[in-house]
Amino acid sequence: MADSSITRVDVLAKALGKAKYTDDLKFDNMLYLKVVRCPHPHARVIGINKEKALAIEGVVAVLTATDIPGLPCQPKERPILVPEIARYAGDGVALVVAESPKAALEGAEAVRVEYELLEAVFDPEEALKTGAPLVHGDNNVAAQSKVCKGDVEAGFKEADLILEREYNTHRVEHAPIEPEVAIAVPTFEGITVYCPTNSPFQVRQIVAETMAMPQSQIRLFQPTIGGSFGSKCYDAGVLASRAALAAKLTGRPCKIVYTREESIVESTKRHPYKMKYKVGVKKNGKLTAMEVKIIGDSGAYKSKTPFVISRSSIEATGPYVVPNVHTEAICVYTNNVTSCAMRGFGSPQVAYASELLMDELAEKLGIDPLKFRRINGLKDNSLSATGQVMQNVTLDECLDKLEQEIKWSSRKAELKQQDKTGSIVKGLGLACMYRGESFGSAGQGSDYAGATLQVQRDGSITLYSAMSEVGQGGHTMLVRVVSEVLGIKPSRIFVSPVDTCYVPDSGPTVATRGTYVIGNAIRLAAEEVKAKFAEVAAEELGVRPEELVFKDERIYCPGDPSKSISFSRIAAQCYLKSKSPYGYGWWSPPVGSWDREKGQGEAYSSYVYGACAAEVELDLDLGKVEVMKFVAVHDVGKALDKEEVKGQIAGGVSMGIGYALMEDLVVRQGVVKTVNFDEYLLPTSLDIHEIIPVIVEQPSSYGPLGAKGLGEPVMSAVAPAILNAIADALGTRVYDLPANLEAVLDKARAAKGRCCND
């Protein structure tokens, strides 16, 4: 396969300002919606007074849960509109429909809701106690998962050193540049919804359930998407359902678009975790046992929590050989904003804890941190924490590249000699990661993808897939796969917009499954076209189909250059001979055995690996940390486009820097306080310095053309690498995220005080 990059299929429209986002769309006679939200973290809706709102000029209707013809929600999921109990400060209780955005806002402010305040719970540990206020049902347990291998007590007895530590990660916002938005248009056949989402068929299902309509009567069209990072899944379903409800009842197109404040208050976040680790290790550096207890905050509703906590429990020990493991992970309902999928999906939290732990163990044993990871790292035929025999493990290759690029030993030695009497100190840290691709065998849902190709008479190709282009270059990946299989120029291929009336269900664009699952579906579709074209070409050329090669826009016999025909000619011949020019692919990953009670088995059919290093500069007087250099090494199987890969890595590192140092969604007594980007701090270009992406290519046994997924792994090990570098600079550790100015300054002052006393 050629190593050259190809032009992104979506780049020109975006660069020239021609791309149409949902908020750009206009429809005649369109109405506008505004949500009335509960300001209390836990309350019963006693009554809703619409009179003043309906008296405002331009207000057409005020809708409540009683207007929903179908289901307001599935059990323990966030309702489209609250039927009775609001479970967090942000739950939608009414929907104002108006002729203008201004009238809708005035109407929402005029709606009067009477509440009975209910006792609330905000801390997940408190929520587990007997007598705690109940958010749902008989207890507050949202989901549980465990991994049990060997005998941890025996493992601890073998250990020469036992270390116990606690780590806390925080709640963060997805922060796509485009907030949530949806438009619904009533039609004779049903309802057409325009909505940016990473899960078009799931959103269609939610709308159908809300409206009590067959899914076939709900058409979802996906305009250009302004970012996701795991958001715009269930959130998009809620918005789309609200718009569909209003459109159906009024008979007019209806639009709902959130302000940034509305988005932050209502939308889902990354799960905050409290993690307790106990680990045993021998003097030679070999791990003997690990016990992990995780408590996650699901917030008010279930959403993707069971799947997130399952992945966390599987990956909690990191990419290391641990003979004896006992991991218990539980997520708990609280009256906080709901937690759901976010880039990494349960991996960043446990990677943070396990990698800080590895560094501290190495320090206490006097072993170089990189060497310590080599001693314990997974290798081919190692047993993972779930008892899976690991294959195609590339952790050592990633560490080799990292060591070479960062010049680990010499740079560590240089920094050890630095003058630490001034206000600026430097440090170097590393972290490793591994991650199962796609949903896996542990129960993250059905995993499949369909994709279709239609070759036109002139040899151009239309590609149909439900992959959501959220900025990751997924559509370009699909084009590259088809181009390589058929030996044609990428410019021949047009990617159809996602429209559920025409494209096959490819599943959601989540869980590092785009390349792995959807890429394989389009590969199968391309191979079907190839087989059909080879049959027609063989007849034309007088050879056997298996003798033919597809390359450079031609189909030919390598042994006889005269036997050659253009791809376009064969496309035309297919039509002339009434041969099907279509290709269809349906692919699902291999599913291994899984013991849910013990958390043992083949958790994922394929894994990706990576290793990162950060060099930081720390101001002891201000607590400010600058990541001056970050090296990110990732095994991508086969880079379908190296420039795209480098861009993905750089984006993931930037996001990880925000997670490590500054981003923090502040929630007090269930109320979100950081409701805009003036208070919720995101990294800017001034915070990002040198990022060095390094590509390792060890072809996958399953991925299309040997490729592996990359979107989520690239941020998983960023925060621990930075925090380990901070510890190297300070000589003391920050255990809780984020390591913001205040947290680092406190540690710096404490470290300085110890130095003075010494």
Identify the segments of the chain with pLDDT beneath 50: 755-758
Identity of residue 289: A
- Spell 517-543 as b/e; 16+ CB within 10 A means b: bbbbbbbbbbebbbebbbebbbeebeb
Q: Determine the Cα–Cα distance for residues 642 and 117; give it in Å rounded to an integer.
A: 55
CA distances from 99 to 33, 105, 357 (A): 9, 11, 57
Packing angle of the helix pair 395-406, 369-376 (nearest 10 deg): 170
Per the CB < 8 A criterion, the answer to whether 508 and 467 are in contact is no
Identity of residue 524: L
Residue indicated by tokens 């804890």: 353
pLDDT of residue 419: 86
| Kind plus residue range of the DSSP H or E element containing 352 | helix 347-365
Give 572: exposed, middle or buried? Use CB within 10 Å, 0-12, 13-18, 19+: middle
Residue 18: CA atoms inside 13 Å, Cβ hemisphere, count?
6
3-state secondary structure 708-722: CCCCCHHHHCHHHHH
pLDDT tens string 34-48 = 999 999 999 999 999
Residue 548: CA atoms inside 13 Å, Cβ hemisphere, count?
31
Q: Which DSSP string corresponds to 129-175?
A: STTPPPSSTTS-EEEEEEEEES-HHHHHHH-SEEEEEEEE-------
DSSP state of 498: P
pLDDT of residue 356: 98
3-state secondary structure 40-80: CCCEEEEEEECHHHHCCCCEEEEECHHHCCCCCCCCCCCCC
Q: Determine the Cα–Cα distance for residues 647 and 747; give it in Å rounded to an integer.
A: 34
| Kind plus residue range of the DSSP H or E element containing 566 | strand 560-566
SS3 state at 119: coil
Domains identified in the chain and CATH numbers = 12-118+180-257 (3.90.1170.50), 273-441+597-751 (3.30.365.10), 449-587 (3.30.365.10)
Q: Determine the Cα–Cα distance for residues 346 and 478; give it in Å rounded to an integer.
A: 27
For the chain, counts of helices (H) and of strands (E): 20, 30
Within 10 angstroms of residue 102's Cβ, the number of other Cβ atoms is: 13
pLDDT tens string 599-609 = 999 999 999 99
Give 698: exposed, middle or buried? Use CB within 10 Å, 0-12, 13-18, 19+: middle
Dihedral class, residue 266 (left if φ above 0, else alpha if ψ from -120 to 50, else beta): alpha
Residue indicated by tokens 């108006």: 98
Give 138: exposed, middle or buried? Use CB within 10 Å, 0-12, 13-18, 19+: exposed
607-619 and 424-436: which strand pairing?
A: antiparallel
pLDDT of residue 753: 65
Identity of residue 421: T
pTM score, two decimals?
A: 0.96
Distance linking the first and last C-alpha atoms of the chain: 61
